[in-house]
Amino acid sequence: MHRVVITGAGAVSSLGADLSSNFKSLSEGKSGISKIEFLNSDRLSIKIGGQIKNYNPDIHFTKQEKSIYDKFTQFALIATKQAVLSSGWEFQKNDNSDIGVILGTAGGGLQTQDENYRQVYEEGKNRVHPLIVPKLMNNAAASNVSIKFNVQGPSFTIASACSSSNHAMGQAFNLIRSGVIKAAITGGSESMLCFGGIKAWEGLRIMSKEACRPFCKNRDGMVQGEGAAIFIFENYKDAKKRGANILAEVAGFSMTSDAIDIVNPSKKGAARAMIGALKDAKFNPEDVEYINAHGTGTLANDKTECAAIKEVFKSHANKLMISSTKSMHGHLIGGTGAVELLGCLLALNKQIIAPTINFIKKDPDCDLDIVPNIARQKNVKCVISNSFAFGGTNAVIALKKGP
Amino acid sequence: MSESVKYKIIKILSEQTLLDPSEIKDNLSLEDLGIDSLALVEIVFSIEETFNITIPFNANDPTNSTFDISNVSSIVSAVENLVNSASGKN
């Protein structure tokens, strides 16, 4: 089994247009949530989201490229360019048949679907742009990354709702670890902030109209966000040989299913996923110093997640730090695991634990150290990042300080 | 007017729970009727569609709302109030 390390990272979200601005916002406990602005947003009862404001695709893409790239693909490409640049990897020079692209997304080209359905059903148009199929397909981001960066190994997309990105990164880890590929461009992207995207969620009655307050007694639901985070995962021996800058080691990964309910989480399923990640990473529970929680800000998730953490970590649960960065960037659904990995990298590289912001009142059901409102300095070596999705599909990734 | 609101709500609850309307009594709670959180959001949706009203319900904070879901009778009253407000009656 090969060791796997992270040698590049890039991001674009409501917290910033690149990795360093995302790190800065996370460190400062800055909120990226604002009033949403798009067609027909006045018809929605939910008026807030982690929308990337003042986004100008023209600075990144040609007119032709814009016509075939849905926003979720655009975000993935922007973040990939940053990640590739930061890794020092020169993709264009080789055939790269032993490198893969594995990305997560839940909605894929939902904005493209929304716009075009509007045209045919609302406006009664009889013609749509010929390339909407390759634009809206779930694998559009992964495929366009493979095309743009000449990656000729396996390229595919994983869609498992809120666990998509963790699953994608876990697959990248497993493929490198087992020697199938030697590196991967991995992470995820999401852009569902459009009328249809939010309207569909409203009916579930789990979204907040005010703010995302994970673990807070006053929490009243999730807030959706958009964006992408992309990483270069690489075989450690190769990374060391080429003198790459190592951001972290991917220590372990676990995936489980609750097999109980299509929306409600299960303590047992979540606990099994965390135990599995610890076992795979060869971490003792006491080794883990920080957990980037799933922490959606819903009544159900936060209570269940805290109970699961207590079950897994026992008395150590009171000593470790847990934060939900969703409080700042929102819930990016299929892209969320990737953007949340930034919180882990911030901890391992800058010794900063991002806070859970918007915290007002303690909830006895979430009485753990959730790093309320203000970031903390701590030199940590072992961290995990949780994703617990609709459908009861769980994915937990474990990282440790780079060798 | 009241009778028809109540009748429609009992019909919605009956369809969701598969209980006979005669079994859906005023004082029964959601739990008594076997209605879980998913069933509840579907019921809220059906009520909104049937009466063309907006119900201020958040699943994260079910008790802290003007829409009282304690039992069948409180649900009927809450819907009646919303219907009357929507049609401009006092």
- Residue A198 Ramachandran class (φ > 0 left, ψ -120 to 50 alpha, else beta): alpha
Residue A150, pLDDT score: 93
CA A271/CA A81 separation, integer angstroms: 36
Residue A108, pLDDT score: 97
**Interface mutation target, options A202, A205, A260, A302, chain B, most CBs of B under 10 Å:** A205
Find the range with the poorest average confidence among A8-17, A146-155, A185-194, B3-12. Answer: B3-12
Residue B64, pLDDT score: 67
Q: What is the pLDDT of residues B4-29, one digit of tens each?
A: 999 999 999 999 999 999 999 999 99
Residue A90, pLDDT score: 78
Distances (CA, A) of A27 to A22, A31, A187, A293: 9, 11, 21, 16
B41–A204 C-beta distance less than 8 A: yes
- pLDDT confidence band for B86 (50 / 70 / 90): confident
| 8 A C-beta contact, residue A355 and residue A241 | no
Q: Map residue A130 onto helix, strand or coil.
A: coil
Q: Map residue A267 onto helix, strand or coil.
A: helix
Q: Which helix (H) or strand (E) holds A74?
A: helix A71-87
Mean pLDDT in residue range A188-212: 95
- Tokens 């401009």 -> residue: B88
What are the catalytic residues of A? Answer: 162, 294, 331
CA A273/CA A286 separation, integer angstroms: 17
Q: What is the pLDDT of residues A106-134, one digit of tens each?
A: 999 999 999 999 999 999 999 888 899 99
Is pLDDT at A95 greater than 90 in this prediction?
no
Nearest to A386 by CA among A175, A230, A79, A169: A169
B60–A219 C-beta distance less than 8 A: yes
How far does A222 lie from chain B, in Å, by closest CA?
Answer: 9
Is pLDDT at A52 greater than 60 in this prediction?
yes
Q: What is the pTM of this model?
A: 0.94
- Residue A13 Ramachandran class (φ > 0 left, ψ -120 to 50 alpha, else beta): beta
Mean pLDDT in residue range A273-301: 98
Question: Which tokens belong to A206?
Answer: 């789990």
Q: Mean pLDDT over all residues of chain A?
A: 96
The more confidently predicted of residues A225 and B3 is A225
| 8 A C-beta contact, residue A40 and residue A253 | no
In this prediction the ipTM stands at 0.80
| Residue A339, φ and ψ in degrees, nearest 5 | -65, -30
Nearest to A125 by CA among A133, A114, A134, A116: A116
Mean pLDDT in residue range A300-315: 97
- pLDDT confidence band for B89 (50 / 70 / 90): low
Kindly report the length of chain A. Answer: 403
Residue A398, beta-bridge partner list? A252, A384
Residue B2, pLDDT score: 54
Residue B76, pLDDT score: 95
Question: Which tokens belong to B34?
Answer: 């076997």
